[in-house]
Amino acid sequence: MADKFGIIAKFDSPADIMHAAEKVRDAGYKCWDVITPFPIHGMDAAMGLKRSWVPRFTILGGTAGFLTGMSMIFFTSATDLDLGILSSGYELIVGGKPFFSPHFAFPVSYELTILFSAFASIAGMFILNKLPMHYHPVLKMDDVADSSDDKFFLYIEKQDPQFDDAKTAEFVQSLHPVKVSDLEE
């Protein structure tokens, strides 16, 4: 018998899991989660989750992208800086136009803003979610595989400060799940 990771309960409908989540939130548990086949509207509030941090990554990526675009164009077409082995700039004369202008540099910088923002947001999502993570107690449980089809699960981890074998089991039963089982490490 492997170590116990927590208690997991199965529910049949979005409404049931949502009401259960509200009760777990109000009971003050911290280390718990809900497993659903699709994002349920209103579940973030029901779990008491704060607004996601992903946009912070986006703004960083976007700023970096815009500055990269502008400085790359400035360096390559308006300077003759010699960075040795790295590269060097070249003042490119085209039709007597200025070496640099934010106008002609804008379209490329704009595209790089979007490109870097997209990469940063995706990186942000993976970092915040600690993915890829191919090893997790819920992935080992055969029953939970239905959570990517049409079943809903809620688990409370053993490491939660409020966790108590008997009391938490009783509490989880009071949420009216269709099934309760131990989640193994």
Partner 1 sequence: MSSAHPTSQAARPAILDEVDPVDIPRQPCVANDRSFNWITEKVCGIIEEKTPTWWWVCFVIACCTASFTVIGLGYLTATGVGVWGLANPVNWGWAIVNFVFWIGIGHAGTLISAILCLLRQKWRTSINRAAEAMTIFAVVCAGLFPVFHVGRVWFALYPGYLFPFPNANAIWPNFRSALLWDVFAVSTYGTVSVLFWYIGLIPDLATVRDRAKTKIRKIAYGIFAMGWRGSNRHWSNYEMLYLLLAGLSTPLVLSVHTIVSFDFAISLVPGWHTTIFPPYFVAGAIFSGFGMVLTLMLPLRAVYGMQDLITQYHIDCMTKIVLATGTMVGYAYGMEFFIAAYGANEFEIFAFVNRAFGNYAWAYWIMISCNVISPQFFWFKKIRENTTMVWVISLFVNVGMWFERFVITVTSLSRDFLPSSWGYYSPTVVDIFTYLGTFGLFSVLFLLFLRFVPLMAMAEIKAVTPQADPHHH
73-92 residues near partner 1, rule: CB under 8 A:
73, 76-77, 86-90, 92
H or E stretch covering 8 = strand 4-11
Among positions 107-146, residues that touch partner 1 (CB under 8 A) are 107-108, 110-112, 114-115, 117-119, 121-122, 124-126, 128-129, 131-136, 138-139, 144-146
Q: Which residues within the stretch 44-73 sit at the binding site for partner 1 (CB under 8 A)? A: 44-47, 49, 51-55, 58, 72-73
Other beta carbons within 10 Å of 27:
14
Rounded CA separation 155/34 (Å): 7
The distance of closest approach from Cβ of residue 131 to partner 1 in the complex, given in angstroms and rounded to an integer, is 5
What string marks each residue from 141 to 180 as x (binds partner 1 by CB under 8 A) or -? ---xxxxxxx------------------------------
138: which 2 tokens? 């819920």
Q: Strand pairing partners for 34?
A: 154
x/- letters, 10..49, toward partner 1 (CB under 8 A): ---xxx--xx-xx----------xxxxxxxxxxxxxxx-x
Distance CA 91, CA 166 (A): 76
Rounded to the nearest whole angstrom, what is the least distance from the CB of residue 172 to partner 1 in the complex? Answer: 17
Residue with tokens 């200025």: 98
Q: Is 1 in the site for partner 1 (CB under 8 A)?
A: no
Tokens describing residue 151: 């079943």
Instruction: Please report how close the Cβ of residue 3 comes to partner 1 at its closest, in angstroms.
Output: 19
Residue 104 lies near partner 1 (rule: CB under 8 A): yes
Point out which residues pair with 88 in neighbouring strands.
82
Say how far apart CA 133 and CA 140 lie, in whole Å: 13
Nearer to partner 1, 30 or 179 (CB): 30
Query: Shortest distance, CB of residue 30 to partner 1, whole angstroms?
Result: 12
Nearest residue to 166 (alpha-carbon basis) of 177, 179, 180:
180
